[in-house]
Structure 1
Amino acid sequence: MPYPLDAAAVRSWCGLALEALGRERERIDAINVYPVADGDTGTNLYLTLESAARAVEAAFDGHTSAGTAPCLADAIGAMAHGALIGARGNSGTIVAQLLRGMTEVLAAGDGSADALRQALRRAAASTYEAVAHPVEGTVLTVATAAAAAAEQAAAGAAWGVGAAEVARAAHEGARTALQATPGQLAVLGRAGVVDAGGCGLVALLGALADALSGEVSATPVVVRADAPLPEAAGCEVAGRAAADGRGDPEGPAFEVIYLLEAGDAAVARLRTRLDGLGDSLVVVGGDGLWNVHVHVDDAGAAVEAGIEAGRPYRVRITHFGGVTRAKEPAMTARAVVAVVPGPGLAGLCAEAGATPVAVRPGEPPASGELVQAIRQAHAREVMLLPNDADLRHTAAAAAEQARTEGVRVALIPTRSAVQGIAALAVHEPGRSFDEDVVAMTAAAGATRYAELAVAERQSWTMAGVCQAGDVLGLIDGDVVVIGSDLTRIATAVLDRMLSAGGEMVTLVLGADAPDGLAERLERHVRARHLAVDTVVYEGGQHAAPLLIGVE
């Protein structure tokens, strides 16, 4: 029997969508040829929906603990927000915008057939607004066809047509449009495959129809080509991704994604700036929180543009180097994956050829996120730099998981980002794996590290009692000096560290570092410690206004 479009249906939709994308993930990855043949569209869509499903479950748990029941607006809003903050890749970002578009209509609490029709129409329109240069034959086309089919079905609402019938019509319209995508986009036609993102949307809409109808439809979509692929649940593709290289072999080298806290005017300027830097630009969100996706050659510039617009975090930068086949991206010999605390450091690592995993204070990466970064590096050998003593167990679990997948992983014991910088500086892919591990480990171990932090509350430390708002100077994780002036605490920490000798000082400025701090510290080092060089980086981290390394 049909079910109403309510909070329970949204919860069921999330679960069914996650199951469908879980079954199809590898097959969708295999047909991913546009906009970049990096073989991860299915994985990105799965991770995006996984985040959405977690958010919906959290909404239900919150209402249960409060003794209330969630409404449709609560559930669909949680789903859209979860997708926004967890969106991965080009297709995942677009799906997040689709869900946000649906939320704009369904948040009114009306789960009728007509409301679903309006929601699907708004969802399709919103994706075109989010994509800088829309291309037909993609998930955008499939979404528009789904909305048109829903419109036609909803016209019969006066004769008893319900939301389930509208959802099923949207699914069928999407399936039909998906079959036509090889004839609309040349790169798909050459490869003999349908659009991977569109295939994921068909799975998502099929799950919605199943959640509302209570019936599971297993009718596959068939696109004929030369050599058949194994059947994908809900998306049987007769063909395989045979295109060599990316959709555009001369395209940008990096994919940059980050969440951004910023106002509408700043985001409008950011769109213009990023559009001039690269392509595949998608900016989704609103109400002060955005998800930014772009392909660029200058990853650092893309991150810096975000810093100028507002506060970027959860920065993910993926290097497209070595991508030569859609199904199996070419494996590089060796790669480095580094956890970094700020967008500036993420850009620095990316420019050095590493895959950065940027994190926000209080939101450390899970082992699964590190495993995904290792996979995206497409390397047979990976150096993993946790750059945080508290992440050693998480990083070890990720390394162990990656090893079971055939990747040789070395966990470099970096306890701070400055140790990670030192290790990355001596990384040499040309030498043997073991020699590289030894050199990077030695460089990290030879770098003493310190940081300045601001106390959040009164506490006992090794240097005495601190009050909320005090500046703390920590060396190797221990508080050694407490004061009220950041510059004085920084110079005291530097003097303590350099008293044991040193040739190089590395200063990594946080987002809240006061103007002129680096210049004052550089002058201090020149005056008090002869023959010691200083290098400064704009790290952009929020947890610590200053990180210090001494080699």
Structure 2
Amino acid sequence: MPQTLDAAAVRSWCSLALDALGREREEIDAINVYPVADGDTGTNLYLTVESAAQAVEAVFAAHATRATAPEPTPADAVRAMAHGALIGARGNSGTILAQLLRGMAQVLAPTGSGDGDHPDQGLAPALRRAAELARAAVAHPVEGTILSVASAAADAAGATDAEAGAGATARAAYAGARAALAATPDQLAVLGRAGVVDAGGRGLLTVLGALVRALTGEVPAAPPVRHRRHEAPAPPAPEGGGPEGDGSEGGGPAFEVIYLLEAEDAAVTRLRARLDALGDSLVVVGGDGLWNVHVHVDDAGAAVEAGVEAGRPYRIRVTHFGAAAGHPPEQVQRAVVAVVPGEGLAGLCAEAGATTVLARPGEPPASGELVEAIRRAHAREVVLLPNDAALRHTAAAAAEQARSEGVRVALIPTRAAVQGIAALAVHQPDRRFDEDVVAMTSAAGATRYAELAVAERQSWTMAGICQAGDVLGLIEGDVAVIGADLAATAEAVLTRMLAAGGELVTLVLAEDVPDTLADRLERYVREGHLAVDTVVHRGGRQSVPLLVGVE
């Protein structure tokens, strides 16, 4: 086996870590009691490493087509691993792992490094930089977590002989991390009461074990085994935050919010302060204009709004914890998973108790993303709202996959976000599943939908020929009105939709549409239809300027 951390070893490390986490993620999920006992630390680490491995494979595939450089350099592979982990990071521990890999990359593959670099010579300082950077990324570090395990690994690696080589350094790091992991129940009371080691630290040990194996071919000693003790529930902890490295272990916020963010350093500094005041479990990792933001909050919309003010958030994931902290996720009976077209609706639906998947313009979610969202909901029963006619087959495939994993899934074929909002409005998780699904389906089916879009080119439509720049009013997916002005076209669409009756008009405005449009349309509805109410929501960055629903 190679004793040097070359590109092939980095590739092997990613592959071995992914395989190991795949085998062990259920065990890691099972011991996840801190910061929130939502049982997904192993899964989050697996998904984070999966993204890192895919990025490394993409670099190798790109180089395979080049006659001059068929193999990537070590620096290429290390940077790809760190970048892939950053963009695919999930949960507290996954986000911290991404920052650990980023710290290693800063030493092993500094900007401007060339083909002649030997990253293995810097493995010990790389692990030190990783531990420092990860600790700095957590708003309020706490000992007895993945941070402690990372620091111990760095200390042990730093104590090795500088000439020992990468293999010996990796062995020492693993041994130090293993000892630190065994000590976590004595450092963090919630772990001691449950009789488990820290789940995030346990996952990091798996990743370090894969590094040892990639460099030496040796299978390192098994991790310390601690089993959950069966004892009375712990007394309630004081009020306050309780993330991995961030506060107490008591009942915490209702939502986990994660997004990628393109922003300048100064804006991210302000964002950290704002999110720290909003919730807990705050981890912000990244740099060079791209960040991964993770926080637990009660107001998911405010957390997303803060990201919008700081820069451009995308790949937004909002998860409702469903059960109170300290209770196992299997106690959640029912959840709703909804696809939404903009950040504003992600916050709105999350506040209604839904786990959301953001559909970015031109990038509809794949079935795998929907399956992951169903898993994140941690429920025995899930109602899936695709909110887009084009996602019908994708959602059906995701539902079938989730059913094969033992989750009872009902797919309500909502064709627009406003139908999903209507369905969520009548959702009652305490009634029988079938009755809830029928009520939600009826509410969605009773909601007519429309959208206002801008034509990109001249084309034939059911309403005639449109020119590039024309405003199109699409009702139930068909162009019904062509106009030159957004407000006037919207009024024409409302006139047609309300001709068949209605009790409530829902307007969802994109972020760049002025409030004056909402005011005008509310006044138009009120003057023409006295018995019809109007509600307005901000959708954020959505693909069309206006969505309309009539119930």
TM-score (normalised: structure 2): 0.91
Q: CA deviation at 1:22?
A: 0.6
- 1:469 offset after TM fit, Å? 4.2
Give the C-alpha shift of residue 313 in structure 1.
2.1
* Aligned residue identity for 1:320: F
Matched pairs, number: 531
Question: Aligned-pair distance for 1:164?
Answer: 2.2
How many angstroms apart in 2 are the aligned matches of 1:534 and 1:325? 40
Whether the 8 Å CA contact 2:4–2:120 is kept in 1: the answer is no
For 1:308, the aligned partner's letter is: E
| Residue from 191, 196, 202 that aligns with 2:194 | 191
Secondary structure, in 3 states, of the residue corresponding to 1:410? strand
Task: Find the counterpart in structure 2 of residue 316 from structure 1.
Answer: 317
In the TM superposition, what whole-angstrom CA distance separates every residue of 1:189-208 from its partner, at most 9, and x where no partner exists? 22222111111111111112
Write the distance in 1 (CA, Å) between the matches of 2:456 and 2:52.
32
The reply to whether residue 479 of structure 1 matches residue 479 of structure 2 is yes
Counterpart of 1:82 (choices 81, 84, 89) is 84
Q: Which residue of 2 aligns with 1:111?
A: 118
- Which consecutive residues of structure 2, in runs of 5 or more, have no partner in the other structure? 235-241, 243-247
The alignment status of 1:490 with 2:490, answered yes or no, reads yes
The 1:478–1:58 alpha-carbon spacing in structure 2 relative to 1, beyond 3 Å, is farther
Q: Is the 8 A contact 1:472 1:479 kept in 2?
A: yes
Task: Give runs of aligned pairs for residues 62-73 of structure 1, distance below 5 A.
Answer: 62-67=62-67, 68=69, 69-73=71-75
Cα distance in 2, alignment partners of residues 179 and 322 from structure 1: 28
Q: Does 1:525 align with 2:531?
A: no
Judged with a 3 Å threshold, the aligned counterparts in structure 2 of structure 1 residues 469 and 70 are, in CA distance, closer, same or farther, namely farther
2:381 maps to which residue?
381
C-alpha spacing 1:241/1:515, structure 2 compared with 1 (3 Å): farther
Which one is further off, 373-382 or 193-202? 373-382
The CA distance in 1 between the partners of 2:53 and 2:335, in whole Å, is: 32
Q: Which residue of 2 aligns with 1:162?
A: 165
Secondary structure of the residue that 1:539 maps to in structure 2?
strand
2:150 aligned with 1:143? yes
SS of 1:207's equivalent? helix
Report how far residue 88 of structure 1 moved: 0.9
Residue 410 (structure 1) aligns with: 410
Paired position in structure 2 for 1:240: 228
Match of 1:124 among 131, 135, 140: 131
Shift of 1:460: 4.3
CA distance in structure 2 between the aligned counterparts of 1:514 and 1:279, rounded to whole angstroms: 33
Give, as a single letter, the amino acid of the residue that structure 2 aligns with 1:129.
A
- CA, structure 1 residues 447+176, in 2 after alignment: closer, same or farther (shift >3 Å)? same
Gaps of at least 5 residues in structure 1 are 223-236
Aligned twin of 2:182:
179
> Once the two structures are superposed, what CA deviation does each residue of 1:166-224 show, in whole Å capped at 9, x if it has no partner?
222222221121112122212112222211111111111111222122x13141122xx
Alignment map for 1:416-431 (pairs within 5 Å):
416-431=416-431
- Give the whole-Å Cα distance in 1 for the aligned partners of 2:492 and 2:59: 48
**8 Å CA contact retained: 2:92, 2:283:** yes
Contact 2:330–2:380, Cα closer than 8 Å, also in 1: no
Q: Which moved more, 1:295-304 or 1:469-478?
A: 469-478
Q: What SS does structure 2 have at the residue aligned with 1:290?
A: strand
Separation in structure 2 between the aligned mates of residue 469 and residue 12 of structure 1, nearest angstrom: 52
| Residue 544 of structure 2 corresponds to residue 544 of structure 1 | yes
Aligned residues with identical type, % of pairs:
74
- The separation in 1 between residues aligned to 2:259 and 2:229, in whole angstroms, is 29
Cα pair distance change 1:462/1:140, threshold 3 Å: same
Q: Does 1:208 align with 2:196?
A: no
From 82, 94, 103, the counterpart of 2:96:
94
In structure 2, the CA distance between the partners of 1:518 and 1:19, relative to structure 1 (3 Å rule), is same
Output one character per residue of 1:96-128: Cα deviation in whole Å (capped at 9) or x when no partner. 111111122222343343322222111111111
Q: Which residue of 1 aligns with 2:250?
A: 249
- CA apart distance, 1:432: 2.6
Question: 1:477-499: per-residue Cα shift (whole Å, max 9, x none)?
Answer: 22333444322332222222223
**Whole-angstrom CA distance in 2 between matches of 1:241 and 1:252:** 26
Instruction: State whether residues 330 and 378 of structure 1, in contact with CA within 8 Å, keep that contact through their aligned partners in structure 2.
Output: yes
Q: Which residue of structure 1 lines up, in the alignment, with residue 237 of structure 2?
A: none
**Quick check: 389-398 or 18-27, which moved more?**
389-398
CA distance 1:111–1:465, shift in 2 (3 Å): farther
Q: Contact 2:410–2:437 (CA<8 Å) still a contact in 1?
A: yes
Q: Distance in 1 between matches of 2:23 and 2:263?
A: 37
Structure 1 residues 43-64: Cα deviation after superposition (integer angstroms, max 9, x where no partner): 1100111111112222222333
Q: CA RMSD in A?
A: 2.1
